[in-house]
């Protein structure tokens, strides 16, 4: 159990003056300075007295410390005290070498789907480059397969503390160990298979089940199928991103589909039945007599299934009416007759023409 009495740590009484505290700290710091005593235990103690001094030399902090643990919700250890004063990450309790073994990165791979695959779901294989555990060293990174050695520069702590004298007194700074990069251990005999990283590049193929209703840009997460981490650490995730191919007939808007059909004027005027190949196969579309250019025929639930929940989007068929451009004399005569018949019989233009329409369809049909 570490000593939690900061006064005892500096060897002074609880009612010591600021000057007494300063002198006590200077005396101890001289003896425990890392330049004099580089062993880890002494360095630890040096850190502790420095932190104790930082608290007791500040009147406001000293007052808070004197108020007791209740003022901070209780502290049981040296680390707790420092955490209360300096926040987590300070001092010996919560600092230390970061792990050599870390989680791997996430991977991203594209999968290209056509509209029907995106709409109804599909199972696809995707191939991508990733990082896998090195089989030669099983992730340790050492040629012998043994664990990496403790770093001699930082004694495995991953960081180096330095005390500098300044006009403010002694200032302690801590920085990551330059030799081991902060991990506290070094690979002295790197594995020839992976160069010490513990992992190797690998091309992999995975099978991914794509649900119905996905669309361009959606990412499907495959947990743990990403890169293995440094030192053989746990793998990241694989994200499979949907790239949707454009359809030659249908344009997608969310789960709705749109397409365009062009009709001859006569067919639009008289009404007709069209056959359209939808995602569900051939469907007959009923075009009502008198359909105008720009009219929209909606086929309910013939769009893309909703990814979440039930139901489907709609299919909107946009009708474009084509007016004939080159009329032969017979066609022109019939159209003129028709126009005249409509004017005479139905000035409101609602319907009319009678048998002329059928005659006209025979003459113009298919245009
Ligand atoms: Zn080191
Ligand atoms: Zn290796």
Angle at 295 between CA 293 and CA 302, to 5 degrees: 135
Ligand nearest to the CA of 97: 1
Question: What is the number of helices (H) and of strands (E) in the chain?
Answer: 10, 15
Q: How far is the CA of 98 from the centre of ligand 2 (A)?
A: 21
Pairing outcome for strands 199-210 and 122-133? antiparallel
Q: How confident is the model at residue 86 (pLDDT cuts 50, 70, 90)?
A: low
Residue 96 has pLDDT above 80, yes or no: no
Q: How confident is the model at residue 54 (pLDDT cuts 50, 70, 90)?
A: confident
Once rounded to an integer, what is the mean pLDDT over residues 318-334? Answer: 86
Encoding tokens for residue 77? 């250890």
Q: How far is the CA of 181 from the centre of ligand 2 (A)?
A: 19
Q: How far is the CA of 177 from the centre of ligand 2 (A)?
A: 24
Once rounded to an integer, what is the mean pLDDT over residues 342-358? Answer: 56
Ligand nearest to the CA of 184: 1
Taking the C-alpha atoms of residue 324 and residue 331, their distance in angstroms, rounded to an integer, is 10
Q: How confident is the model at residue 12 (pLDDT cuts 50, 70, 90)?
A: very high
Q: How far is the CA of 339 from the centre of ligand 1 (A)?
A: 96
Q: How far is the CA of 149 from the centre of ligand 1 (A)?
A: 10
pLDDT of residue 363: 66
pLDDT of residue 293: 94
- Closest Cα to residue 106, out of 227, 233, 232? 227
pLDDT of residue 77: 56
Q: How far is the CA of 182 from the centre of ligand 1 (A)?
A: 6
Taking the C-alpha atoms of residue 258 and residue 166, their distance in angstroms, rounded to an integer, is 75
Q: Kindly report, residue by residue over 18-36, the tens digit of the pLDDT.
A: 999 999 988 888 887 766 6
Q: How far is the CA of 179 from the centre of ligand 2 (A)?
A: 20
Q: How far is the CA of 178 from the centre of ligand 1 (A)?
A: 6
Residue 198 has pLDDT above 60, yes or no: yes
Q: How far is the CA of 83 from the centre of ligand 1 (A)?
A: 25
Ligand nearest to the CA of 200: 2
Q: What are phi and psi of 118, to 5 degrees?
A: -65, -35
Once rounded to an integer, what is the mean pLDDT over residues 329-337? Answer: 83
CB–CB of 282/275 below 8 Å? yes
CB–CB of 50/9 below 8 Å? no
Q: What are phi and psi of 332, to 5 degrees?
A: -65, -40
CB–CB of 133/201 below 8 Å? no
Q: How far is the CA of 186 from the centre of ligand 1 (A)?
A: 7
| Rg, C-alpha atoms of the chain | 40
CB–CB of 155/95 below 8 Å? no
CB–CB of 265/353 below 8 Å? no
pTM (predicted TM-score): 0.61
Buried b / exposed e along 130-156 (16+ C-beta atoms within 10 A): bbbbbebbebbbbbeeeebeebeebbb
Q: How far is the CA of 133 from the centre of ligand 2 (A)?
A: 8
* Maximum Cα interatomic distance, the chain, rounded to a whole number of Å: 122
Taking the C-alpha atoms of residue 311 and residue 301, their distance in angstroms, rounded to an integer, is 7
Taking the C-alpha atoms of residue 173 and residue 334, their distance in angstroms, rounded to an integer, is 100
Taking the C-alpha atoms of residue 367 and residue 348, their distance in angstroms, rounded to an integer, is 27
């Amino acid at each position: 159990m570490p000593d939690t009495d900061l006064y005892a740590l500096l060897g002074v009484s609880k009612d010591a003056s600021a000057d007494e505290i300063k002198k006590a700290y200077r005396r101890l710091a001289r003896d425990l300075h890392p330049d004099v005593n580089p062993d880890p235990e002494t360095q630890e103690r040096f850190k502790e007295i420095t932190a104790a001094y930082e608290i007791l030399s500040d009147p406001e902090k000293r007052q808070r410390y004197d108020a007791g643990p209740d003022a901070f919700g209780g502290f049981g250890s040296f680390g707790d005290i420092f955490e209360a004063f300096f926040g987590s990450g300070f001092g010996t309790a919560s600092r230390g070498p970061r792990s050599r073994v870390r989680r791997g990165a996430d991977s991203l791979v594209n999968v290209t789907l056509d509209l029907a695959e995106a709409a109804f779901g599909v199972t696809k294989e995707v191939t991508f480059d990733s990082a896998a555990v090195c089989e030669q060293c099983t992730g340790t990174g050492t040629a012998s397969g043994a664990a990496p050695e403790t770093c001699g520069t930082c004694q495995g702590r991953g960081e180096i503390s330095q005390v500098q004298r300044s006009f403010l007194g002694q200032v302690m700074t801590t920085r990551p160990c330059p030799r081991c990069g902060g991990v506290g251990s070094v690979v002295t005999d790197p594995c020839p298979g992976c160069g010490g990283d513990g992992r190797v590049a690998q091309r992999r193929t995975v099978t991914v089940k794509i649900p119905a209703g996905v669309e361009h840009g959606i990412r499907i997460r495959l947990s743990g199928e990403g890169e293995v981490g440094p030192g053989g650490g746990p793998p990241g995730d694989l994200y499979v991103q949907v790239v949707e191919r454009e359809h030659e007939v249908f344009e997608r808007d969310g789960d709705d589909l749109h397409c365009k059909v062009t009709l001859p004027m006569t067919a639009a005027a008289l009404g007709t039945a069209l056959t359209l190949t939808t995602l569900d196969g051939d469907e007959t579309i009923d075009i009502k007599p008198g359909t105008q250019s720009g009219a929209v025929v909606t086929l309910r639930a013939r769009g893309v299934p909703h990814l979440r929940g039930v139901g489907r989007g709609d299919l909107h068929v946009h009708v474009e009416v084509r007016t004939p451009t080159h009329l032969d004399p017979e066609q022109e005569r019939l159209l003129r007759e028709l126009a005249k018949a409509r004017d005479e019989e139905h000035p409101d233009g609602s319907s009319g023409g009678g048998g002329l329409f059928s005659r006209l369809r025979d003459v113009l049909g298919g245009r």
